[in-house]
Amino acid sequence: MPRVQYVATTAMFSLLAISCAQSGQNEVASQEVIVTAQRRIDAGNAPKQDLKTYDVAEEAPAAPPPITQAPVMVAPPPMVAFEPSIAQSIVVTGAKRSEQRQPMPYYHDVGRDRFTATQQNPFKVAREEPVSTFSIDVDTASYSFVRATLSQNVLPQPAAVRTEEMINYFPYSYASPKTAASPFTTNVATFPSPWTAGRKIVRIGIKGYAVQRATRPRANLVFLIDTSGSMNASNKLPLVKQSLSMLLDQLDANDHVAIVTYAGSAGTALEPTPASQKAKILSVIEQLGAGGSTAGAEGIRQAYALAQRNLDPRGVNRVILATDGDFNVGITNDNELKGFVERERGKGVFLSVLGFGMGNYNDALMQTLAQNGNGAAAYIDTVAEARKTLVEEASSTLFPIAKDVKIQVEFNPATVAEYRLLGYETRMLNREDFDNDKVDAGDVGSGQTVTALYEIVPVGGPRAIGDLRYAKPVAQGPAHGSEYGFVKIRYKLPKSDASRLISTPINRATEVASFEQAPQDARFATGVAAFAELLRGGKYNGTMTYDGVLRITSAAKGADNFGYRTEFIQMVRAAKTAASMARLEQ
């Protein structure tokens, strides 16, 4: 404590004591003076020192008539270290002092959410670049974050919006495959674009085989839980506990659960335990508390090690990370963490990520870990979202039916002048990656649907890119004149390292003449894509507006058993009046 502050504090307590003595107060009948301690948080990376300062928060009432008594000198209080995790108040009564401890207030941060910014996919000229290749994406984190932001009457930052995750948040009624040996069916539809006359939308949909509960493999799960101080918020650790409790209800007696926690350090909170011992597992989850810094990398290392020690060669071995992603101790570099999870997935342990909180949410790290750990990333902002992800879609979350799933579309320059893929910017692959089984790609879970949309400009339609003066003209001829393109899907079965191939043409014979004639699911998905593109700036949206999105999705809502599509329509309405930036809370 600085000398001036110390002297001032000593003088203050001396005067208070003398005043009490002169006014006739004794130890029994003394008036209370409330003195509070304030916490100081130093900025930057400088060493932190918690100092106790004393401010009189409440003056004593008027004293009774004085009684002659010798002054009593009271020694100043000793300097004590302030415990950073506990807010304190000091009650001084005459010469006696007692301390009352209060729970630490919820952590709250603003404006530190981290996303990876990407440019929207542009139009490509079919005769120059006829092939488009990408990895599938079944993550839904972007949709949930957009919803959480709009619920605060604020538009999400454009980097937070990933078009494919908005589309794939919803299940679609594609035909189901009949066996796990052929785990996919494909569904292709072509119809007019609702935002630019003369252009068309090509919808490519796939659906994975739904594993029956009686035949699904055993699950060896490690819950890796962030218990650092930043998780001390009502929408973080308490919601993590509720979410994992829901997931526990979906497990079978032969499944196993272990728990690793991390804050300033990491440790095993529960050794692998049969899911049948639900009370024991729940007891450990309920006792978790938040505090300290965030050694996330060490937590990941220990979780993988625990999963490896209990590896089930015939089962599903998965680490489920629940965090806000705010790593600040040990390895924090995204590329180093990426390299680690890439090596571990080769040993048979996959990683899924559940994101929580807002204000310091590190989406960039979540995506890096999930994409390279052969898992999915979800963002849990409400109990309802936890129920969707971990109860209603538990099988698709936990049990993959195919891995390294890639899609390659070759467009026919004789019928297609230009094309662009809506979304999937972070999942684009090189043409040669499609046939290379060493190149990682996304996984598809049990019963999951995946949808991709292309906007194409037919030959003779309204071009986005003009012809070059010296460009070689496209050869005209009857070869494949009835096809817009050709779709190839490459995938591996969960326990295989050799890929398989399925393919289907984009045939003009199945094209419909008007947008209203397109399949209901295709129209709804197109409306969702239009909304996502508007939130990202609307560079390629033509005449589309929020009102146009409402018209499309309201007409194509269809059966909405869980209310997801109704909720989406409300989100669009909210976006019409939402602010561009959150207001600073004073």
> The domain spanning residue 286 has which CATH number?
3.40.50.410
What mean pLDDT is reported for the chain? 83
pLDDT digits (tens, 9 = 90+) for 58-77: 444 444 444 444 444 444 44
Report CA 132 to chain centroid distance, whole Å: 27
pLDDT digits (tens, 9 = 90+) for 477-528: 555 678 999 999 999 999 899 999 999 999 988 899 999 999 999 999 999 9
Same domain, 84 and 162: no
Same domain, 293 and 333: yes
Same domain, 20 and 91: yes
Mean pLDDT of 406-430: 97
**Contact yes or no for 300/265 (Cβ under 8 A):** no
Domain with 543 in it? 124-211+400-463+480-577
* 134 contacts: CB under 8 Å, gap ≥ 6: 406, 407, 421, 424, 427, 428, 429, 452
Percentage of residues in the chain having pLDDT higher than 70: 78
Stated pTM of the model? 0.80
Say which range, 9-13, 209-213, 364-368, has the weakest mean pLDDT: 9-13
**Contact yes or no for 530/194 (Cβ under 8 A):** yes
Residue 405 to residue 401: CA distance in whole angstroms: 10
Start-end of H helices in 55-160: 141-150
> The domain spanning residue 570 has which CATH number?
2.60.40.1230
The total number of structural domains in the chain stands at 3
Hey, is 363 helix, strand or coil? helix
For the ranges 32-36, 96-100, 242-246, 347-351, the maximum mean pLDDT occurs at: 242-246
Residue 132 to residue 535: CA distance in whole angstroms: 24
Residue 271 to residue 302: CA distance in whole angstroms: 12
Say which range, 5-9, 133-137, 383-387, 580-584, has the weakest mean pLDDT: 5-9
Hey, is 463 helix, strand or coil? coil
Domain boundary among 398, 415, 436: 398
Start-end of H helices in 388-502: 394-398
Same domain, 327 and 453: no
**Region at 160 (left for phi over 0; alpha for psi -120 to 50; beta for the rest):** alpha
pLDDT of residue 30 exceeding 60, the answer is no
Cα 3 to Cα 6, 82, 169: the distances in Å are 5, 18, 61
In terms of Cα–Cα distance, which of 497, 405, 496 is closest to 442? Answer: 405
Mean pLDDT of 302-325: 93
Same domain, 346 and 204: no
